[in-house]
Amino acid sequence: MMKLETDRKIIQDSLDAQKTQAERNVLGQFSTPFPLAVDIMKYAKENTVTDSISFLEPAIGTGVFYSAFLHVFGENVSHTALGFEIDPHYYNPTKEFWKNSALEIKNADFLEQQPEKKYSLLVANPPYSRHHHIKSDKKKYLQEMVFLHTGIRISGLAGLYCYFLMLSTRWLKENALSCWLIPSEFMDVNFGKALKEYLLNNVDLIQIHSFSPRRFAIFRCFNYFIYRCF
C-alpha cells in the first residue's frame, strides 16, 4: 500500500509544480497531506456501521483520501467508489493512475451533478475558493440550490467549500458518515451563519477537530467536521 501512496504523491507533486500559486488559489487546489488523510480515515473506520462501503469524494484531486481509505480499511474491503475532479490537469493523470482500482472518476463539477445513487461514506477537502472567484451566475444558482435542498439562505460572501458541504447531503444514505476538512473561518464571520445552521439542524454532528499547527502547519486555521445524515 505504501508504494501505491508513494507513486500517487509523485504524481501530485509533479502536477502541482506545473501550476502557479495564483492558479491553484483560484480553484482552491491544495492537497491533503497523507498522514492527515489517514487520521481522518481511521476515525471514519471507527464510526462505520456497514461492511460494504460506498465511498464518495466530491473533489478528488489525485485521490489522497481514496489512498488513505485503502490503507486504513484494507485493499480487500468490499466497496464501490466515485470521485469528481473538475480540472483535466488533475483528472487525466488521476484516472490513469487508478484505472485498475474500484474507483470511478468523473471529469465534472460535483456541484452541478445529480446523484444516480447514494453513498455511505463521504470524505472531502473541498476547494478553498473565495467568493470573488465564483462567477455571479453560478453563485446565484448555488444559492438557489442550497435553499431548495436545505431551506437555508446562504450569503453571497460564502466560499465555495460551504456550497460543497451543504449540497452533499442529497448524495448520502441515511446514517451515512460525512467527513470534511474545511477552514474554521466560517465559525467567526457573518457569512458562516448558514453553514452553522446546517451543521446544527440538518445533520447529526459527531465531532469537530481543530488541528495543532505543530503537526499540520498548513492547516492551522482548518477543522475537520464529522457528522451523520438523517
pLDDT in tens, 141-178: 999 999 999 999 999 889 899 999 999 999 999 999 99
Each domain of the chain, given as residue ranges in start order, spans 2-23+34-229
- CA dist 160 and 167 (Å) reads 11
**C-alpha cell read off for 79:** 466497496
Quick one: pLDDT band at residue 26, thresholds 50, 70, 90? low
Question: How many CB atoms lie under 10 A from the CB of residue 89?
Answer: 16
d(CA 30, CA 38): 17
pLDDT at 181 over 70: yes
Tell me the helices (H) and strands (E) count for the chain, helix number first: 8, 7
Position 222 confidence tier, pLDDT thresholds 50, 70, 90: low
Amino acid residing at 230: F
What are the cell numbers at 156?
453571497
pLDDT at 20: 82
pLDDT of residue 168: 95
User: How far lies 191's CA from each of 89, 140, 196, in Å?
Assistant: 31, 15, 10
Q: Measuring CA to CA, which residue among 227, 109, 104, 118 is closest to residue 171?
A: 118
**How many CA atoms lie less than 13 Å away from 62 in the CB half-sphere?**
22
pLDDT tens-digit profile of 121-138? 999 999 887 776 788 899
- The Cα–Cα gap between 117 and 54 comes to 10
- Taking each helix axis as running N to C, give the angle between helix 136-150 and helix 160-167, from 0 to 180 degrees, rounded to the nearest 10: 30
The fraction of the chain above a pLDDT of 90, given in percent, is 63
With CA atoms as reference, report the closest residue to 65 among 178, 142, 194.
Answer: 178
Band of residue 1 on the pLDDT scale cut at 50, 70, 90:
low
| CATH code for residues 2-23+34-229 | 3.40.50.150
pTM of the entire structure? 0.90
According to the model, what pLDDT value does residue 182 have?
86
Q: Three-state DSSP class for 224?
A: strand
What does the mean pLDDT of the chain come to? 88
